[in-house]
Structure 1
């Protein structure tokens, strides 16, 4: 019984949902004809085709790619037609979206509940005879079946027909059709949304073209796409030819929802600025809530009988008193309204001035401009691409056919290039063995994108290498295996000596020169000559002495090329030097350190003589300063003694012998201080003169 009722409910619902689709625009198919894939993780897709009359074109996009579509979609009607609109499903929650339709199916209503929602609507039913009428309601009654002694719930539909009210059990209804086209449309839209919501990974976008006759249309957009990759095969030939065959492949994935059939494919290596902005999620702004003003109603008034009065006075009193429709009360209400309006305008201006909110006038201009463009041909591009940095492309000459969710390898390079075999030694990579490598020159007309290189030699696999972006005519060094037939024994030696010394205006400048000698002992155990490329570390503070010039220089290494005969051992040396300069102020320098420089035989004699004179003067100044300090100390000691004497005198009677004795001692101490103070002044003048003489001497001292 339950299954039978479910099948009837489904049949009725499908019958209800049938609407007049003949009035809708015809569906047109516009296939993908052009794809431009970028190495920055996006691709440009272009659809080209023809439409006839009023036509709809449906495209599918991944849900997380809707923002890219909204940001970049370009739709062109290349004939006399126009693009009327682009419709797509909102990202609102399904329940909320279903509730927005005239018939709410968000709670999966039963047939009775569904009909209850459209009370008053006219329906045509078959039960099994055909009946047309307006729905009065649906009621549920309990019925007892005596034969099976069971109780069932029965739904009864009541219709108002031209013959009167009729009640039909829903169990006997075979089909139901809504005669109201608007309700039919609402139900169809709700069901379509329900079906579409099951596909959570993709969304449908409908493009509406309006026009007459057959005409071409074009649709373009940017979407996220896998980064296309490259891999290479390098086949080395005989060493004497210095040539190799380079074969390059592009790895492309079609992760879209469309099959590529004879697509014009271009692969672009570059880094256009690309970002994702969420344009798909509905955005709501908080608006201020303004309370509606409410006014108390006036109470009815009973007017007493009056007497005649002067008309002019009566008029003046009426103006002065006012009433419910004018006067002060109306003015007050007017002021309140004015204040409320002013407040609302201020709030709106504040919202319009909020970050990210364009001015209203500017927004209206943009809307008017956009509307005009849609009426013309749809949205059109307003920016032109500009090459920035390394930008190059591969255009696949043969149209590409690639089903969706499939990948392909497409040949982009297959030709001979210049290549020379070499052994590459870098002590930081391997301390004793070089690597088998090759000097590779890009003699192709195309730039080569970075990727792995598989090397083949003598008909077999030789190793793997990695290559960076490779412009035409450029040279690259590749290494692919360890060269076990060549060993390298590196050794280093460092020596240092004083290179120069001079004095300029009291500053002693000493230069030390350090010499670095790096030796490479290269042993070739092969039966053929080996060309070894030695990568010697580059130091910015060192100067290359020998050899005078390297073969090449990189930010981190010098490169030297040496040839080692078969089964021989050769030695290669790299000499560098570094000069370290030390500036020493003679005035503040310690005498002991100056003495060491003055007795150093590597320093020129003139400089040593000048240092000896400076040391002599510094010694004299030091002696005078020491004597000055001693005088200051003696005076300080005497003043402390005077303080003690005064403290003792304060405790004694002025007429006592002890007081007289301390008084005499105090006078003697004062005499000594006066004598020492005079000596101190003389000594201070002497120190000042010695210091000035030393400074003048050093200031004029220039010796090399």
Structure 2
């Protein structure tokens, strides 16, 4: 493209001549970075620097300016949509800057001065000798040939300035991933100014190297060496040259808010109100008078009263009320008490002793910790169903600060394991003075197996109306047989909790892992028992409530044999109570009461068996009566007389059998009622 000087396009440099350098960075485990820029600033100078566009929201909400001798006038930066805002209201578009002919075509009609001629731009075209510009003057159309270095000047200074800003914004928009920040200050002398702000940053990621002592180490040798390294990425868009770097671990709340993005509030649209059209009815001429209406009786008093009452009601509805109450006129409800917020601080910062240099876009791995901690090599059982325990080390944080989450690479510290990779272990956040168990491998030499058993012991028996309440102490035991194959040391077992059960073994701690138990292994096979005990209540009903009240149960309408297991004295309940009684130890509260219930149930069985026999006798007699009745109906003469005699005998026998069954059933019912009335 040929060169042409346009006076209205201000060729401003987009470079920041005196950018405030980064002096310190604090990286947070919340995914944020606190960046401090500091440097010497002249009396009339502003603070300038660049920041990634994605960080501008955070910068605008967290910026702090430290200037002890000056005054802050404000912060300026380009709009989010640079080109859109710069070209708003201009006759130009960004694509018009692609060539000078398109630029002049977009400026048609604007007044300009070129080659000593002033007029309004009409047209422009490229020719061999240069650019031919056509201007409309008072005398007519004038063509000016512009060569390299010739100047075209817009006579409208305001338009020229806006076009210049549009060109500058267009240049800045090509680097849309960052923004130039300018903080305007006012002071009468040079001084040091610092700017602090918080922006999003990649997480710094701790990793550990853990050197562990050998199994069985004691005294001063029972120590582990823990080295912490941090992976740090510089994604700030600026170089970090010998900065002070701090690494913060904590649970700080972190939010984002789009305050750099223009936000417009939608508003309801109201229509433009216009005067109603004038309605005129046309004149249709005169018509004959209508005939008179017939006479009507006056309304009844009740109807008149209803009509008069309906009038104010209609008026109330027309005023905006309803039949239940009036709308409006009352005071608004008081708002609820304002909510309160509480915050607590828990953080640890690791400040590197030496300055750090990391260029923009680089990743570094820097050491931040090197401490010796009390340690003990142990075996650890997390899964009771596994075959081998875990190789682990128990460490205690004897430093003055908490250790953040991270992955530790475990090496041996001395002996045959010195410098040997043993495995990886996860370290969860560990406050100062707290301890953790870190598993890094599985010990295939040590084996164990486990089994479970459940036993019950009756602790108390109580008689209640209609049932026997039995309190049991249920023991649920897990037994672990472990063979250390000559090794000695500490075994830690994590036992899952059992809701409602109480452990009957010594626990050293409780946590998300459940209950923690420790045992010392002496090299020989041994069995470790881990019992739980829970209280269990069992209710043994003496009467099936689905049968209704015992006194109302009629044997004539009830199949005893089919419902035998539901009846007191039938099979099932008596045997169950006898089995429980056989397991009750002497001296157990309520054992005598249970024994008396068993005796009563045995008597009920005898009475029920007697009633069953009499019921069968009655059914036999009733069947004989039915046969005798049919025989009497089929006979005649002397045979009929004999059949009637037999019918009378059968009737008496059936009546006697029924009476015996009634008495046996009533005797059983009275015994059942007496049993059910025992207890409280």
Bucket of the pairwise TM-score, normalised by the shorter protein: 0.5 to 0.7
- Provide Cα deviations, 1:588-609, integer angstroms capped at 9, x if missing partner: 4643443223433335343131
Name the stretch that deviates more: 211-220 or 447-456: 211-220
Tell me which residue corresponds to 2:73: 83
Describe the SS at the equivalent of 2:583.
Answer: coil
SS in 2 for 1:248: strand
Deviation of the 1:465 alpha carbon = 0.7
How do 1:393-542 and structure 2 match up within 5 A? Answer: 393-428=349-384, 431-457=386-412, 458-484=418-444, 486-506=445-465, 507-525=467-485, 529-542=488-501
Distance 1:265 1:385, change over 3 A: farther
| CA–CA distance in structure 2, aligned partners of residues 26 and 432 of structure 1 | 68
Change in Cα spacing, 1:211 to 1:544, as seen in structure 2 (3 Å) is closer
The SS at the match of 2:350 is strand
3-state SS, counterpart of residue 94 of structure 2: coil
Would you say 1:111 and 2:70 are equivalent positions? Answer: no
Instruction: Write the distance in 1 (CA, Å) between the matches of 2:94 and 2:87.
Output: 6
Does 1:36 find its partner at 2:30?
Answer: no
Deviation at 1:618, TM superposition (A): 11
User: Cα offset for 1:449?
Assistant: 0.4
Secondary structure at the residue paired with 1:17?
Answer: coil
Question: Which residue does the alignment assign to 2:173?
Answer: 197
- C-alpha RMSD of the superposition: 4.4
Question: How far off is 1:99 after superposition?
Answer: 3.0
Quote the residue 2:521 is aligned against: 564
Aligned partners of 1:123, 1:211: CA distance in 2, in Å? 42
C-alpha separation in 2, matches of 1:514 and 1:194:
82
Question: Is the CA contact 2:234–2:363 (under 8 Å) kept in the aligned structure 1?
Answer: yes
Q: Which whole-Å deviations, capped at 9, do the CAs of 1:523-556 have from their partners, x for residues lacking one?
A: 2346x534333334442343333xx413444444
Cα deviation, residue 230, structure 1: 1.0
- Which of 261, 264, 285 matches 1:281? 261
How many angstroms does 1:270 deviate by?
Answer: 1.6
Residue 157 in 1 paired to residue 134 in 2?
Answer: yes
Secondary structure of the 1:55 match is coil
In the TM superposition, residue 438 of structure 1 has moved relative to its aligned partner by 0.9
* Distance in 2 between residues matched to 1:576 and 1:559, nearest whole Å: 14
- Secondary structure of 1:596 counterpart: helix
Give the structure 2 partner of residue 338 of structure 1.
none
Contact 1:65–1:224 (8 Å) recurs in 2: yes
After TM superposition, give the deviation of residue 615 of structure 1 in Å.
7.9
Question: Going by fraction, where is helix more abundant, 1 or 2?
Answer: 1
CA distance in 1, matches of 2:149, 2:120: 16
1:120 to 1:556, Cα distance in 2 relative to 1, 3 A: closer
* Structure-2 residue corresponding to 1:360: none
| TM-score for both structures, normalised by structure 1 | 0.65
Instruction: State the 1:477 CA deviation.
Output: 0.6
2:123 aligned residue (139, 147, 151): 139
- How far did 1:248 drift? 1.2
Q: Quote the residue 2:600 is aligned against.
A: 613
For the residues of structure 2 that align with 1:435 and 1:402, how far apart are their CA atoms?
Answer: 41
Unaligned runs of 5+ in 1: 1-5, 126-130, 146-151, 297-383, 628-678
Residues 294, 67 of structure 1: CA spacing in aligned structure 2 closer, same or farther, 3 A cutoff?
A: same
Paired with 1:188 and 1:153, the residues of 2 have a C-alpha distance of 23
Q: Secondary structure at the match of 2:446?
A: strand
Structure 1 residues 478, 141: closer, same or farther in 2, change over 3 A?
A: closer
- Aligned partner of 2:617 in structure 1 is none
Which digits, 9 at most, give the CA deviation of each residue in 1:294-346, with x for residues without a partner? 789xxxxxxxxxxxxxxxxxxxxxxxxxxxxxxxxxxxxxxxxxxxxxxxxxx
SS at match of 1:205: strand
| Map 1:364-379 → 2, pairs under 5 A | none
**In structure 2, what is the equivalent of residue 346 of structure 1?**
none
Is the 1:618–1:694 contact (alpha carbons within 8 Å) kept by the matching residues of 2?
no
Q: Judge conservation of contact 1:487–1:522 (CA < 8 Å) in 2.
A: yes
Closer, same or farther: CA 237–491 of 1 in aligned 2, 3 Å = closer
Change (3 A) 1:177 1:509: same
Counterpart pick for 1:213 among 171, 178, 189: 189
* Residue 12 in structure 1 maps to residue 5 in structure 2: yes
8 A Cα contact 2:105 2:124, kept in partner? no
Q: Partners in 1 of 2:172 and 2:393 — Cα distance?
A: 57
| CA-CA distance at 1:194 after TM superposition | 1.0
Q: 1:469 to 1:699 in 2, by over 3 A?
A: farther
Secondary structure (helix, strand or coil) at the match of 1:70 reads helix
**Cα distance change of structure 1 residues 276 and 114 upon mapping to structure 2, 3 Å threshold:** same
TM-score, normalising length: structure 2: 0.67
